[in-house]
Amino acid sequence: MIRLRNVCTAFLRNGDDYLLMKRSDSRKIGPGLWYGVGGHMEPDEISSPQEACLREILEETGIPAEDVIGLRHRYIVMRRSGDEIVVNHFFFGQTRTRAVKDSEEGALFWVPEREVLERPFFSAIRLTLAHYLESGGLMADILVGTVDQAEDALIRWTPLRDMSQEVNRS
């Protein structure tokens, strides 16, 4: 039986720096790798990934929602891992503060944008972050990506266009 694991990841910017987490070596998933901040969505958050993302930001950094500016849902990335499909909702935004608290998940660092991709990331996170940085974040639609590990971790992107106007015209 296939199961779904829904997660959210936030990349927050302050000035020219991004807030990144180096995962603790004791973590089961991605020990020692770099990530944004985020985690698993709770069952009551499945229909609101942004709420889950803001909760995770607060839990992992201490940054409250009122200090997060322009948080936007930019990507949904899916990959299969055995009998599980991982669905990762990626958000990008800014913060009013650089003050963060310690987390059991890992150590938090403000990293200059020009150095961000020099860190060792899980491949799907690296590819998504690289796409965002290369595009300048100028996407009108949310992009949906499927990870193809067979081709040395490539993501196939498709825009998730708003079809509400088309449906209303029918």
CA angle (2 as vertex; 142, 150 as ends), nearest 5: 65
User: pLDDT tens per residue, the chain (170 residues)?
Assistant: 999 999 999 999 999 999 999 998 888 878 889 999 999 999 999 999 999 999 999 999 999 999 999 999 999 999 998 999 999 999 999 999 999 998 888 999 999 999 999 999 988 999 999 999 999 878 788 999 999 876 567 899 989 887 776 655 55
Task: Assign domain 3-169 to its CATH architecture.
Answer: Alpha-Beta Complex (3.90)
| Identity of residue 104 | E
Report domain extents, the chain: 3-169
Count CB-CB contacts under 10 A for residue 142: 17
pTM of the model: 0.92
Distance CA 13, CA 40 (A): 22
